[in-house]
Amino acid sequence: GSHTCFHIFTGPMNHATEAQQFPFCCHPSISRYTFPVQHIPLTWVESEAICRAYASYWERKTLTETEETILRDLEVRIDQIIRERDGKAFLKISGQSAKDVALFRSNKYMQKAFAQKLFYVHPTDHNKQLIAFLEAVNIAMCITSGSQAMEYITRSHRIIKEIHKFVRSQLNDHFQVSQSVSANCNEDKEDNGNFGDLQIVLRDFVSLRVDQEFRCFVKDKCLVAVSQYESGAYFEQLQGSEAEETKFVIKEFFNNVAPLIYENNFIMDVVIIDGSVNIVEMHSWSEDNSACLFDWKLDKNELQVPNGKATQFRFRTSALDEPLDAIPSRKWKEFIKEYYNRRKFMGLRIRPIILQYTAILGLPLAAVALWFLRVHCKHFLW
């Protein structure tokens, strides 16, 4: 039957599996299909300090010395865990990541990653530019230090919303009153201990291929539908025989893992790495979640009614007419234009240098240089 599972953490730090982050109970052996994680339970005081730091950044409010001390201590603890995890981790608070911070145009990690990915993409190939953007977002989500972690946590609208939501739930559940938390979480709390399962989650960072991420829809314990996760992009790797192999791998995986999940209706995000399927996240069944290439209303029969039908798979079979429309921010589209304009300008400056060295060093060396640039940078120079 359906179970509800709550995890109350009492120690300063817990080692656990990603299974403990799921919104329902699973058999412990499901951990072999997940990524190792480590938890830092948050106290009332720490949660309040995070909310105050958020207000300090977005609303220019001042932090107290006590709040700054709390945040520095949290930064040190996170930094220690990241160092123990080979210097890289994926971060979220309970069920929310700071993906919105990775998407900020001012994010220097995203800027660097996106520029590196665009280097090998032709200026007119908008679908591959979209894929480069998605890959860069994944890279920008890699946390390498406690200071970066705190920057993401205290600037994320998604994370602050999650904290507010959780605190409201705690107040309603434990005090049986209808209370709301102020926008800055600045109400006084007498209990400074850990509460519920609000926690910082640090998961081993794995560089995921965006063409190998999928969203699975499970209804009445049946795998009713599967969609590529990044629904705006066209992936050559999800066509023909490769698509059929992917379908087979996902169905076999679900048959193995379904008995370990004590829930009938849920949504599961998975990724295929070297032929093996790993669970990234699981969500309670809700239309608040994206249906990816499906539509909650138009595809109601495919998503809601198992009836022993074959699993419906949807992979995009051609690129969008305007692939860059799938990029959520106009500023990143402008970044693409600015990037290629800069590279074009650099190309105009490089060619005279090549001609100069041709006269000095002779044709053979110049020919090699021209060949290298034509192969690796032809869309910038020619």
- Tens digits of pLDDT across the chain (382 residues): 333 332 323 233 333 444 445 666 788 889 899 998 899 999 989 999 999 999 999 999 899 999 999 999 999 999 999 999 889 999 999 878 999 999 999 999 999 999 999 999 999 999 999 999 999 999 999 999 999 999 999 999 999 998 998 888 777 765 554 444 444 555 444 444 555 578 999 999 988 999 999 999 999 999 999 999 999 999 999 999 999 999 999 999 999 999 999 999 999 999 999 999 999 999 999 998 999 999 999 998 888 776 667 899 999 999 999 999 999 999 999 999 999 998 877 655 445 555 555 555 555 655 666 556 655 554 544 3
3-class secondary structure, 218: strand
Domain ranges of the chain: 14-204, 210-323
Any idea which fold 210-323 has? Answer: D-amino Acid Aminotransferase; Chain A, domain 1 (3.30.470)
What integer pLDDT is reported at residue 7 of this predicted model?
31
Contact call for residues 247 and 225 (beta carbons, < 8 A): no
Q: How far is CA 64 from the centre of its chain?
A: 32
Beta carbons within 8 Å of 221's beta carbon, 6+ residues apart: 258, 264
Contact call for residues 45 and 189 (beta carbons, < 8 A): yes
